[in-house]
Structure 1
Amino acid sequence: MPELPEVETVRRGLAPVLEGARLTEALVRRPDLRWPFPDRMAARLTGARVLRLRRRSKYILADLDTGETLIIHLGMSGRMLISGDGAAQMPGAFAHDHGQMDKHDHVILTTDAGVRITFNDARRFGAMDLAPTERVEDHWLLSGLGPEPLGNHFDAPYLAGRFAGKRSPVKSALLDQRIVAGLGNIYVCEALWRSGISPLRHAGRISEARIARLVPAIRDVLSEAIEAGGSSLRDYRQADGDLGYFQHRFAVYGREGEPCQTPDCQGEIRRKVQSGRSSFYCAACQR
């Protein structure tokens, strides 16, 4: 499933063609994806202007001049594809011919510049909903989320407070969206390796000094992944159809049995299943 860097990369790819654009047509080709679409979604989107495109956790939010916000979740295989000659007029942009509709093209938005944005989702675990912009943070998909890991509210004192007394493994705690929003399996593995913390250690037993190393490690790995266009595993692609490249920088994820990349470390990367997900780590230098 796309994690925060992949979703942010898609948002950045969509922003030049969607922000400020008016949706001249909205085609909704099925009644639902993971959940039913909102009532009259096509009619509520048609004619609306996109004021701003932002991200909250793993959700893309399109604020409209109608006072509503379109909430988009890519799910496991969702893609936002851009096509049409209008896209080529954007500075440094790309363009693909519209082509024939695919059976997995479920929602198609056309802008006043002739750009088509297609939400393609083969597995149909994605989602779209509409909510009042002024109350969108209260939407059931967003209301329980913790702070953004790249935001000002996520720092060492905050994380130490949330970890205090927790007996669950730190890997599980970081994947808890109520503690910090948007983190997923890949980048938690990488951040824990960078900070020298074992994914098996109880969150409540990590010292404040080590948490102070963990927070910037999380920020750094996410920022680097965003700049690399995310990590292309299985279905993920950027909005222009290109692959992300951060998977070539993985230090531990997917590297079971390989030597640890920490200087002077003689350990090798291990894999352990935690709560149904694979944790990759070095037992020699992550304690």
Structure 2
Amino acid sequence: MLVFGTPRAMTRRDIDVVIAQFTEAARLAYQAGFQGVEVHAAHGFLLSQFMSSNSNQRDDEFGGSTDKRVQLVLRIIRSIRKEVPKSFCVGVKINSADFKDEEGMVKMLRQIKLIQQEEIDYINLSGGSFEDPQMMSTNSSLRPNSAATRSTIREGFFLRTSEEICRRFPDLTLLVTGGFRSRNGVAGALNNNACDLIGLGRPAVKYPELPSYIMFNENNSNNEARFDVESAPGGGWLASKVRSVGAGAETQYWMAAMNNL
């Protein structure tokens, strides 16, 4: 295949190794002085594949139902909690792009309910995967012509979903990551109780002093307080035909930008 290898079902030993690796990573982070970790169960990576009925074809204790598909994530959380103190923050990033219709929303809400019953501190709602890289590329089909219009669409990308999550789980701390590009967008999401926290990725790379120079700079009006980011150089003709190629080019571009900070 062009991008991906041939998939195979993980054995129980493979799964035990993954749980141990996540646990060891959290333990090392704690010992190194970090204040928390985020379990990445989004963007089409391994845990996201287990959680999604699109990719999880198992019929054992880790697949076959909505509850079973989230079991690996739950076991990782429990294993981490055995190794770190309660003061050590543990969050979970989940993927909204796998749940695009009403049935998908029901499945996601069920998995969120099971996750938030564990000893976690927050859930990070994100989206996009290599199958559907909505938030991995700024050059997507969602893109109107003006930067301001584009950011307005992106800023609301997950808000309908996040509002429903907040309504269902009022005690859950919800972080939303996805396309925020303005002070107005951030304030609107927080003031409307669509989430508790906002996550910024690419803008924080392009504008390392974003809080002091843009967000909280009283010399900038609300309309001026923007932090748009450019599209990464694309993958050429191939990227226009294979979306995962364009998403990969975007990721590599911003990784290089972080290395230059």
TM-score w.r.t. structure 2 length? 0.33
* Higher relative contact order, structure no. (Cα contacts within 8 Å, ≥ 6 residues apart): 1
TM-score w.r.t. structure 1 length? 0.30
Query: Computing the radius of gyration over CA atoms, which structure comes out larger, 1 or 2?
Result: 1
Higher share of residues assigned helix: 2
